[in-house]
Amino acid sequence: MPKDIRAFTIEELTEEIIQLGFPKFRAKQIYSWVQEKCVSSFDEMTNIPLAMRNVLSEKFEFLDCKINTKLVSEIDGTVKYLFELFDGEYVESVVMKYKYGYSICVSSQVGCKMGCTFCASAIGGFVRNLSAGEMLSEVFTAQKDLGVKINHLVLMGTGEPLDNFDNVLRFIELLTDENGQNMSIRHISLSTCGIVPKIYELADRRLGITLSVSLHAPNNQIRSKSMPVNIKYNIEELLTACLYYENVTGRRISFEYAMIKGVNDSDAAAKELASRLKGTLCHVNLIPVNNVRERNYEKSTKERQSRFAVILEENGITATVRRTLGSDINASCGQLRASKRKTGD
Ligand code: SAH
């Protein structure tokens, strides 16, 4: 089976090119076409001899994401893509425009194993990991379609990035390579539901990625009900790992907290959360839970959200109620794919 050319680092590609009997300098040219100019075929590599392009196209391939559906928010211009992968599976990406540029939210798996009860991505279970090349293709396809350079990345789409650790780290390595897209590592955030051993491993890589942790509850009792991962790695273990991450990287952690009416949004929950997070270098993002058709959770009221934020602030924890982008196009990841699966079209 041909190999996905986008997944190769320059060193690995050089090795392959030498093995095929071609001069070493060709690897650099090819790498630049793939990672910097983001081509999708060998035909576009105009400085590579035709005979060599023919050999390359037998040995390698481009696992492109094809745009199946594109939705543009009339409210804020947020763009949501449903991409079709080479094997007919679907993933979603969202591109958001901010004052500082464009940011893309990328999916790292088809489906998800984690089973969070409020999340659309969990519906239908896990199918497979995305390769590094496929994640790059999400970025490249969106860039090409929009005609813009995307300079921020959030790994907050479908899937648990720390459950696809090697491919995700390779993706980040390629995307930040100065001979490729040269995205700043400071512009990359990764969101996890809390796979504790992998948080330690990520910290030890000392990459300086911003870590977002999906906390969504102040204690084990509430968290274990909606997030099965908490049964394996409880909140104490998770917060200890977060402290380690902060200490090693010096980066502030962002805790995500989806507010669900009557479940995790009481004053007592806010106080408990604040006391747990005291002393950590962190920020809490309060998000009104998105209605997912298959789930019967309700959003907390605006007043509840503000009150919750005030209690956190009063107890020394910085918090913001997150603005929702693209609410008219179901921009939260998993929702479009779930509806595609339902209608089967
Ligand atoms: N697996 C990773 C990243 C994917 S989900 C993680 O768990 O962090 C991205 C974020 O959206 C997570 O914080 C997740 O908990 C949150 N999320 C999932 N479903 C949601 C919903 N219905 N409403 C609000 N946030 C949701």
Residue 92 among the catalytic residues:
yes
Torsion angles phi and psi, residue 225, rounded to 5? -70, -35
277 ligand 1 Cβ < 6 A: no
Q: Measured in angstroms, how far is the CA atom of residue 217 from the centroid of ligand 1?
A: 13
Alpha carbon distance 94, 72 (integer Å) = 10
The predicted model scores a pTM of 0.94
Q: Could you report the per-residue pLDDT of 180-192, keeping only the tens digit for each?
A: 999 999 999 999 9
Superfamily of 66-343 according to CATH: Aldolase class I (3.20.20.70)
CB 123 within 8 A of CB 174: no
> Which residues, in sequence order, are CB contacts of 166 under 8 Å at separation 6+?
none
Average model confidence (pLDDT) across the chain: 93
pLDDT score, position 333:
54
Residue in the block written with tokens 């009481």: 266
Q: Could you report the per-residue pLDDT of 178-228, keeping only the tens digit for each?
A: 999 999 999 999 999 999 999 999 999 999 899 999 999 999 999 999 999
Q: Could you report the per-residue pLDDT of 258-310, keeping only the tens digit for each?
A: 999 999 999 999 999 999 999 888 999 999 998 766 667 889 999 999 999 99
Tell me the sheet residues that pair with 152. 103
Residue bearing the CA closest to ligand 1, atom 3: 156
Residue 333 among the catalytic residues:
yes
User: In the numeric block, which tokens belong to residue 295?
Assistant: 């789930």
Domain ranges in the chain with CATH number 1.10.150.530? 3-61
Domain ranges in the chain with CATH number 3.20.20.70? 66-343
Q: In CATH, what is the architecture of 3-61?
A: Orthogonal Bundle (1.10)
